[in-house]
Structures are given as structure tokens and as C-alpha cells.
Structure 1
Amino acid sequence: MFNLGDKVSVLDDTIDGVVTGFQNQKIVIETTDGFVMAFAENELVKISTSEDLQSFTTNQQLLSALKDKETEKKRSFVKEKKSRKDEFVLEVDLHIEKLVPSKRGMSNYDILTLQTDTVKGQLEFAIRNRIPKIVFIHGVGEGVLKAEIDFLLGRYEGISFQDANYQKYGLGATEVYIKQNPNR
């Protein structure tokens, strides 16, 4: 397919040159920059001259090869800036099956006590470690756990709380913001 003196272009790179020889089933070319390189036959395409213009328009293989060689347009990516506050959110799932391996033998009082103790422990942990935001996932249910959490959080100074993002958590989560005291 290729002959000595043929002008060629490399498919996956912006290298053009002239065929100068053949070596180990590869085609040796001298690039327009003067470098000698070897390529497999399927990596090269012959560049048509003005005399070959008729064959150029009818050769579908060449057209598709040149189309493959076209460089892709760079996509632009816009990086969304996030504040440091949004980087880490401590999420605590208070569903009983997430807290203990088996709730067998536990009364409703025991379950509620374990859940509220977990809230206290995680909230104290967040305050100690200066974590600005914590989300308690309590579920919807009858609202008993949510009421207990609201009562418990109301006893702390320096925190505010509200229902968490509905799109992310639905109705069953409370978001707590811890105001950081620089003297601590």
C-alpha cells in the first residue's frame, strides 16, 4: 500500500513525513522535523497530492481516517467553589438497626434511650472536635424521637438546629449547626 517517497501522516498524532524504508513489518518515515520513526501500516495514512485529488474524493477509508485524526475540541469544566464549612458533614443514622446488631429484647424505652444517648455522644464529639455541622437521621415515624432530639438540642448553648435538606434526607432528619467558640 505504501511506497518509498509517499507522503504520510500519523493517525493518532500530528506527525507528517515521507516513507524512507521498511523494517520488521513497520514503515520507516522521516518526519518534516528530520526525525526517523517507524510505524505500523495501520497507524499511517497516505497524503494525497493534487494529481490524486480524484482518488482522494472517492476513497472513503482515507476520509474516515482523516476524520479520526481531527483533534477533539476541549471541553470546559467549571469547578464549583465550596466553602470549607461544606466540606465535611457528620451524619449520624439513629435507626435502631444501625446502632445495634439486634433489637431483640429491647423495649421502646430502651431503644429511645440508646438513640438519645447516641445523639448526646455524637454532639459532644462534634463540639470537642470543632465540627461545624452534624445531621441526625431519625426517620419520620410518629415523631417521638424527633421531639426528644429537639428537647435535647434546646438545652445546649451555641448551637442552632432545623429540619435537614428535604431533597437529600426527606422529612426524617435534623441539621445541627455548632457555633465555634474561639476560646475553647
Structure 2
Amino acid sequence: MKFKPGDKVSVLDDSFTGTVKSYKKDGKVAVITAEGFELLFTESELIPTGGSLGALFAGKSLGSVLREKETPVKRKQPVPEKKSRKDSVVLEIDLHVEKLVRNKKGMSNYDILNLQMDTARHHLEYAIKNRIPRIVFIHGVGEGVLKSELDYLLGRYEEVVFGDANYQKYGLGATEVYIKQNPGR
């Protein structure tokens, strides 16, 4: 028991003082406020405001103890991982035919698909050669022909892992490719 009846105390989280009346069976301290109300607190919620118990706080005043309680503890910010510039590089390739040629007039669907697949293959080889870790192929939704051909192409590369790109950024019409980097290459 840290307090005895008659000790003057203050409540840490409130702005009132009182006098210790007694200890209850559950370990709570009964305090009579200046207004005459009896309130219950745990010992950790109370600090002495004078008398012999003031020595417990090694000469600290009530004001300094309350300031320590109110001062927020500064937390250390986590140090962000340092990423190389290449890790942040994402090669975005739009395979829509309008982005690949000025005029598609006279091109058959077969010609368009071959142009799109040649473009995808060329950029994939470029990324592997230059150790670019990520590519996003924007193919659109459509009937899914280009997507299935792209999946077939990507499945032929051992060093490639692929899946749907970020839905919030690209919707359903993009495939993200991760290129596993081999240091021995």
C-alpha cells in the first residue's frame, strides 16, 4: 500500500485533488474530493501532492510529473528500405493497335494480333536483357484473344512470373510480368 488515509493526492488523468479515505477489498483507493464526493481509483492513477509520500517521486513536483504524463513519446520512424532505381522501374507497354500504328486501315485481325505479339516479345526480350524487373502489358478486355496469346507467350519463359496487374490502376485489361533476375546471367 502506497497511500495511507489522510494523504493528499492528485489524479493523473483528471484535474482534481482529494484526500485518501481508505483502501477497498478490491485494492482500489477511496478518495474524497474537495467537493465531498467519494471516488475509487487504482494506485497507479494517483500521485501524492505533499506529505511524506512526496519523497517517492525523488523531489519532482506535481507539475513536472503531470507534464511528463502529457508529453507525447516520440516514436522512431521506420527506416525505409533503400531500393535501387531499377526496382522502381516499371515498363508499361500498351498493346492497343492504335498505340502501335498510325493507321490500321487495311490490316486484318491476324496482322494486328501478330504485330501486338511481336511488340510484346520484343519488349519482353529487352526487359530480360536489361534486367528490368517488371513489365505491365496493357491489352484491354475485349474477347480475350490477345490476353490468351500473351499468356501463352509468357508461359514459354522460365524466368518469368505473370498475373493480372493492379486492378485499381489498370482494371481487368492488363497483365503484370515479374522477371526473375539471375546473377549468373
TM-score range, shorter chain: 0.5 to 0.7
Match of 1:134 in 2: 135
Structure 1 segments (4+ residues) deviating >2 Å: 78-86
- Name the SS for the 1:119 alignment partner: helix
Change (3 A) 1:122 1:80: farther
Give the alignment's Cα RMSD to 1 decimal: 1.9
Give the TM-score normalised by the residue count of structure 2: 0.55
Residue 94 (structure 1) aligned with residue 95 (structure 2): yes
1:64-143 matches, cutoff 5 A = 81=80, 83-84=83-84, 86-143=87-144
SS of the residue 1:180 aligns to: coil
Unaligned runs of 5+ in 1: 1-77
Q: Is 1:160 aligned to 2:161, yes or no?
A: yes
Aligned equivalents of 1:97, 1:79: Cα separation in 2: 45
CA separation of 1:79/1:92 partners in 2, compared to 1, >3 Å: closer, same or farther? farther
User: Number of residue pairs matched?
Assistant: 107
1:170 paired residue number: 171
Deviations 1:60-97 (A, max 9, x none): xxxxxxxxxxxxxxxxxx89946336511000000000
Q: CA offsets per residue over residues 126-180 of structure 1, 9 Å max, x none? A: 0000000000000000000000000000011111000000000000000000001
Instruction: Tell me the secondary structure at the aligned position of residue 181 of structure 1.
Output: coil
Partner of 2:183: 182
Identity of aligned residues (%): 71
